[in-house]
Amino acid sequence: MNKETENSDDLWRDLIVFFFVFLFCYCAYRLKQESLLLNPKNQAIRQHSKEVISTFQMDLIKVEDFQQLQVNILKLNSKQYPKPGDLVKIKYKGMFSNGSRFDSSFEEDSTIEFYAGFPGVIQGLSEGVLKVPLNSLAMIKIPYFMGYGVEAHGGLIPPKSNLLFEVYLKSIISPKKYPKLLKLKKSEAIKLDNLLVWNLKKGNGKTLNYNAYFYCNYDAYLENGKLINSTFLKNQKETFTKNHRVYKLLKKAFKNKRLGAEFIVKSSPQKNNEKILFQNSNQSFYFHISL
């Protein structure tokens, strides 16, 4: 009986020793793991792994190359698309082709606005947003020649950088019909062959030398008031010479005009070689011109 008791005591002692040895080894293992996790080198490796996973996820939605502008709709919430000249507001995240971010407005819940299809932002973004529906999320893939080009930008964008822009289109504001066109009276116009001219403001500067060059802002509208071209939206006057396509079409309306003049010209439908001016060559155009 005493021998059986001694054997039982030995068994319990062995179990207790095994338990404490196991507990000691487990604690030592956990301490070592935590030490490895806190090691800066290992943290860098973990971060790199996350970036690799992120890049892999980006590759799933990217097309094969950057030969042209590509727009992939990630979340479709509308069938309404902006038109050239519409004022759009977007949230965006700008990334390099490997998926690493260089700019974002999502975190700050802010937006930027610009005229779709016109300069003001990089070409790829301005043209790409035309293919993004309202309240929808899209990925715009922009080749470097439609981005920041062959030069570095702002110390952040390297030369020839292909870019990705994740874009949420928040609003579209379409311009109303040009109000001055609606108030024009044909009886107040000056007729010059196939042109009608309404003088809105006389210039007080020097008479322009049309044999050299001059600077000019203009908007071009269809008869229904739809904007089809604008240097006002580009916020940059255009250089006119005697060979400029608009000047050639409206040459007689420019005669004797002074610097500072403002006027509207209606041009009859274009004929022959003048059809290259705009696609809608069978319609009349209004030009709002400021010298």
Q: What is the pTM of this model?
A: 0.49
| Chain segment 74-122, per-residue pLDDT in tens | 999 999 999 887 889 999 999 998 888 999 998 888 888 887 887 678 8
Below-50 pLDDT ranges, the chain: 1, 41-42, 44-45, 48-63, 272-280
DSSP secondary structure of 214-231: EEEEEEEEETT--EEEES
CATH of 179-290, one of 3.10.50.40, 3.40.1670.10, 3.30.413.10, 3.40.50.300: 3.10.50.40
Q: Are 262 and 201 in contact (CB under 8 A)?
A: yes
Class of domain 65-173: alpha beta
- pLDDT computed for residue 57 by the predictor: 46
Describe the crossing of helices 40-61 and 2-38 by its angle, rounded to 10 degrees. Answer: 70
- pLDDT computed for residue 245 by the predictor: 76
- Alpha helices (H) along the chain: 2-38, 40-61, 123-128, 179-182, 245-249, 251-254
- pLDDT computed for residue 231 by the predictor: 77
Q: Do domains 65-173 and 179-290 have the same CATH topology?
A: yes
Burial 74-108 (b: 16+ CB within 10 A, else e): eeeeeeebbebbbbbebbbbbbebebeeeeeeeee
- pLDDT computed for residue 109 by the predictor: 80
Report the 10 Å Cβ neighbour count for 247: 20
CA 97 to chain centre: 16
| Chain segment 37-64, per-residue pLDDT in tens | 555 544 544 554 444 444 444 444 444 5
What is the domain partition of the chain in residue ranges? 65-173, 179-290
